[in-house]
Amino acid sequence: MADMNDDELLDALGVEAAPLKSSSRTPREERIIAGFEDILRFHQTHGRTPQHGEERDIFERLYAVRLDQLRRLPEAQALLGALDGPGLLSGSAAPVDADELDEDALLAELGIGDGPDDESDITVLRHVRSRAAIKAAEEIAGRNPCEDFERFKPLFDEVEAGLKQKSWVTKPFGKDASIEVGDFFILSGLLAYVAEMGDTYRTPNAETNGRLRVIYSNETESDLLLRSLQRALYKDSDGRAGSRIIKADIGPLFGGIAESDDIESGTIYVLRSLSSHPVVAEHRELIHKIGVTGGKVETRIAAAAKDATYLLADVEVVATYKLHNLNRTRLENIFHRLFGASQLDVTIEDRFGYPVKPKEWFLVPLHVIDEAVQHILDGSITRMVYDPSSARLIDMGE
């Protein structure tokens, strides 16, 4: 057989050689399409558009940002319209904190610029702030003028005068990371007062969180999460910042009579669980939760059935005691010292399957708790110990 060239060989085999089609799209357009196809695959797999949020997977956060930017890209509708069967581009873009971007800047933010060395790896987050940056912004953002600051001014005046006279002192926040309504802190050089706390809930890692109203000494306020305030206090290192402010000598835990100029600090509440847990059901009349809150008890327990702290069950309030001029942390420590030997030893799984051992539940009769409160009132609680075997308080001073 005579030597044939490629074309002659293909012709002899009956194969028609079609010319290769050259792409009419620019490299930039190809990259835009490739980026959108990633988002389409996510939508097909999960049945929804990618969402923003710290709790989201890093790739979902990346796709959410890409989709927002594509919705703002002038040529996206024409270029991607034929691919956009689910209508992803018709949604509204989530707010972004960058200034208005021109076309080239948008492409750069998407990681799909024209340059040959452009980095388009989908694992590289562009225009997505780091966790640290997001948290830092959350902790300081949203401070607005406090319209009713006059209500809180006497409190700030008292604390400022007390710090000068050393009747109020500071201590590092890390030694007591609890946050309650009525607490004072120094944060970024300002006095910060926790005025209100909304409903609390458990985070996926079983920590308590909730929305706070925090008033600052410069007559501003912010609406931020409890965990955000904790992080800010941990990180702040400006002088005495990141400190808790307490009275050097708090005197009685609370007075029996509320004076006209007293500040009502909160409430001791005693709860009984309606849980069907075998141990709780067997000892229901003896098992009580003792807590202290600066807000409304009803608000505190509203979501009890969804909170492992409350044994994932509804509760009933069996006793409350109003407090005045109280240091709540010290009071809670007293209850734990007094009834610690009778703390309920039960571990349950929260809604996310994490094991949780609820605190502040004790095998103590209600009348003994009431007796303990009376000893707190008269100042004799420091002499008292609880004897679980006889279920009574014993005065060690006698």
Q: How confident is the model at residue 118 (pLDDT cuts 50, 70, 90)?
A: very low
pLDDT at 316: 93
Per the CB < 8 A criterion, the answer to whether 81 and 48 are in contact is no
pLDDT at 50 over 60: yes
Q: Residues of the chain with pLDDT > 90: what percent?
A: 8
Q: How many angstroms separate the most distant Cα atoms in the chain?
A: 123
Chain centroid, CA 10 distance in Å = 69
Q: Return the amino acid letter for 2.
A: A
- Quick one: average pLDDT of 25-52? 84
Statement: residue 36 has pLDDT above 80: yes
Q: Of 76-90, 117-131, 138-152, 257-271, where does the model show the most confidence?
A: 76-90
- pLDDT tens digits along 345-389: 888 876 667 677 777 799 999 999 999 988 887 778 878 888 888
Phi, psi of 373 (to 5 degrees): -60, -40
E strands present in 2-80: none
Can you tell me the distance from the alpha carbon of 182 to that of 293, in angstroms, rounded to the nearest whole number?
10
- Report residue 336 as tokens: 């734990």
Q: What is the pLDDT of residues 315-342, one digit of tens each?
A: 999 998 877 666 666 777 788 888 888 8
* 266 burial type by CB count under 10 A (0-12 exposed, 13-18 middle, 19+ buried): buried
Q: Is the pLDDT of residue 113 over 50?
A: no
**What is the predicted pLDDT for the residue at 254?**
47
pLDDT at 327 (0 to 100): 65
Contact 127, 98 (CB under 8 A): yes
Q: Are 60 and 43 in contact (CB under 8 A)?
A: no
**Residues with Cβ < 8 Å from 135, sequence gap 6 or more?**
228, 231
First to last CA, the chain: 123
> What is the percentage of the chain residues whose pLDDT exceeds 70?
70
What pLDDT is stored for residue 31 in this prediction?
81
Q: What is the pLDDT of residue 182?
A: 83
Asked whether the predicted pLDDT for residue 71 surpasses 60, the reply is yes
Indicate left, alpha or beta for 345 from its phi (over 0: left) and psi (-120 to 50: alpha): beta
* Residue 40 scores a pLDDT above 60: yes
Torsion of CA 365, 290, 326, 239, to 10 degrees: 150
* Nearest-angstrom CA–CA distance, 114 and 122: 16
Mean pLDDT value across the chain: 74
**Taking the model in full, what pTM does it have?**
0.38
Flag the least confident range among 124-138, 164-178, 188-202: 124-138
Please report how the helices 103-110 and 27-46 are oriented relative to each other, as an axis angle in degrees rounded to 10.
50
- φ, ψ of residue 392 to 5 degrees: the values are -150, 160
- Whether residue 95 is predicted with pLDDT greater than 50 in this model: the reply is no
* Residue 301 CB contacts under 8 Å (≥ 6 apart), including other chains: 271, 310, 315, 317
Q: In what order do the strands lie in the sheet with 287-293?
A: 315-324, 264-273, 287-293, 361-363
Q: Would you state the structure tokens that stand for residue 314, as one six-digit string?
A: 């509804």
User: Confidence class of residue 125 from pLDDT cuts 50, 70 and 90?
Assistant: very low
Check residue 106 and give its pLDDT: 43
Asked if 141 and 97 touch (Cβ cutoff 8 Å), the reply is no
Residue with the larger pLDDT of the pair 255 and 344? 344
**CA 323, 329, 334 angle in degrees (round to 5)?**
85
Report d(CA 112, CA 95) in Å as an integer.
Answer: 21
> What confidence tens digit (pLDDT) does each residue in 156-191 have?
988 888 888 877 788 877 656 778 888 888 887 788
Q: What is the mean pLDDT of residues 47-53?
A: 85
